[in-house]
Amino acid sequence: MTIALPAAPAAAPLLHQPPHAFPRHPHGSRSRVLLSSVFGPYACDDEYGSRRLNPMELYHNQVTRVQRSFSLRMFHRSWGLMLIQANIEAPCTLLDFPTRERFIEELRSQRYDIVGLGAIIPNLAKVRHMCDLIREHQPQATIVVGGHVANYPDLDEIVDADHIVRGEGVEWMRRYLGEATDRPIVHPRVLSGFSSRTMGINLTEKPGDVAAALIPSVGCPLGCNFCATSAMFGGKGACIHFYQTGDELFEVMCGLERDLAVRSFFVMDENFLLHRKRALRLLELMREHGKAWSLYIFASANILRAYEIEQIVGLGISWVWMGLEGKDAAYTKLRDADTRALVRTLQSHGIRVLGSSIIGMENHTLDNIDEAIDYAVEHDTEFHQFMLYTPIPGTPLYREHQKNGTMLPRGEYEEADIHGQLRFNYRHAHLPPGVEGGLLVRAFERDFAVNGPSVVRIARTVLQGWRRYKDCADARIRERFRWESRDLAVTYAGALWAARQHFKRTNARLAERISRLLGDLKREFGWRTRLAAPLVGRYLLSMLRREENRLSRGWTMEPATFYEHNDSALAQMASRIGNSLAPGGAAP
């Protein structure tokens, strides 16, 4: 069944200031630029706003939070900062995930004309402190602050910044540097994740095993009232396209495939399939050139329903992040959609689903919250994100609570704790203050107890896809499913064996479910799986138990620091080194 797809809106203008009001740096493209994310460590409680409950890990933070040793652990780079760096001509250095000491060292050792900071609102205290450090060590530098934190009310009175950039940063920085704004967007070459780990094992990151990050557009025209990303890029009815057409996008993907040796793409676009003309043209080109790519996308339920399943499979979509929100949620993207049936359909074609549900919606009470949690758990998605219903500055939901006078005074909470996993920043109509964090954990724990570890669910759905498409007449689709299923017979078989042993005494029903799935793998792949399951499984079980011990001792993960320069910065560095080596040259 398909439904009519709403017309894609025109792309929003990138800037809303009249040209005469726009600032320019006096050095223009000769300016030396430093871009930095906020400093770590992140997975700890400290005076600067780090929170152990809010590590720099998307999955372990808010998706596989209670899965302990089964949790998917990984980090993602600061893609927005990387996009800016790749698209300005000025010499630009990127310092990603520095420690406080490393950030200070950079300010002391290198002179910059512009220092740009990108952050989310929970990191407000870090941004304020970093601005103070810049003023102390480089008082001549212009400070620019962007990202979600820019939507914080009265930010200019809280942090000592010269410019606060709300919205898309590439065009703003180009204009500020006096550079041409109509140049095509250069896509940064970056893998979607790094330092991935689960079950006590570091996952392979050899070429082809990790997806490339792909950013076709930013913003979502559907404009859900709670969505900070939609609000950041223009709100309802607006979005910004970096690549308007399927041809442009295909060219970028071919470049990423060539330069990064990838065959899969994590598509960082809030509702990728909404732009139907672009998506179907990409499908044509993938068919024409025999591309057996895998795409991991964000998509809303009714947009998915507007496509034939053959189109979705043909596009290589093998993973979907979909907002389920909650039972009877009144969002257009969910109207008349049976999301449980939709999830089952996608899974039957080998498509893994990350469902996203909200705890603390307007109608939630202590009497009906368990029903709401059960509804979410019944979807049995491969991953499930649970987030608190939180009014983020800049969103319609925030404005509604301001109007109603239900926002808490700032002195009653810390912004570092308003990350969607601990507490509300407003008075809920029905839920008593302080219960929300416990209700959120209840949702995670029930999903884990009923549906098991995500690695088990992934194996189930990948097997369904393999069985359906292993003999597909289309060689391109057949090859994609062969590649996606390559680890089923040995690695996943071992993981299932270990998981079954792990749950035997604590969750017999789940252990039996895992055992049946392992039996399906053995029937499908024969002697290889029968041999591999106990051999690999015993090793994984020992690593799983070691990981449990680490976690019990309080072990956490932190990302590595990245220090990168664009071509202009590298040329400038080479010139300084050359001058220092010349007779009579000064040291750099």
Q: Which pLDDT does position 465 carry in this prediction?
A: 98
**Is the four-CA dihedral 356, 357, 358, 363 of positive or negative sign?**
positive
pTM of the model: 0.93
H or E element at residue 527? helix 527-552
Euclidean distance between CA atoms 513 and 500, whole angstroms? 9
Q: Which pLDDT does position 399 carry in this prediction?
A: 97
Euclidean distance between CA atoms 138 and 358, whole angstroms? 43
Within 10 angstroms of residue 30's Cβ, the number of other Cβ atoms is 15
H or E element at residue 253? helix 246-260
* Cβ within 8 Å of residue 201, ≥6 positions away: 540, 543
**Residue in 531, 536, 454 with CA at minimum distance from that of residue 494:** 536
Beta strands of 515-587 (E only): which ranges? Answer: 562-565
Delimiting residues of CATH 3.40.50.280 domain(s) in the chain = 25-186
**Residue in 530, 537, 517, 532 with CA at minimum distance from that of residue 467:** 517
- pLDDT under 70: residue ranges of the chain: 1-20, 580-588
Give the helix ranges, DSSP H, for 111-225. 124-137, 155-158, 169-176
Q: Which pLDDT does position 287 carry in this prediction?
A: 98
Angle between helices 369-377 and 436-451 (to 10 degrees): 30
| Dihedral Cα 330, 332, 335, 339, nearest 10 deg | -90
Tell me which residue has tokens 């002195």: 411
Q: Which pLDDT does position 208 carry in this prediction?
A: 86
Q: Which pLDDT does position 467 carry in this prediction?
A: 98
**What is the 3-state composition of the chain as percent helix, strand, coil, each rounded to the nearest 5?**
45, 15, 40
For the domain covering 25-186, report its CATH number: 3.40.50.280
Q: What angle do CA 562, 384, 294 make, to 5 degrees?
A: 60
480-484 contact pairs (CB < 8 A, 24+): 480/292, 480/293, 480/294, 480/316, 480/318, 481/350, 483/263, 483/292, 483/294, 484/294, 484/318, 484/350
Q: Which pLDDT does position 231 carry in this prediction?
A: 93
Beta partners for residue 296, in sequence order: 266, 319
Which DSSP state fits 13?
Answer: P
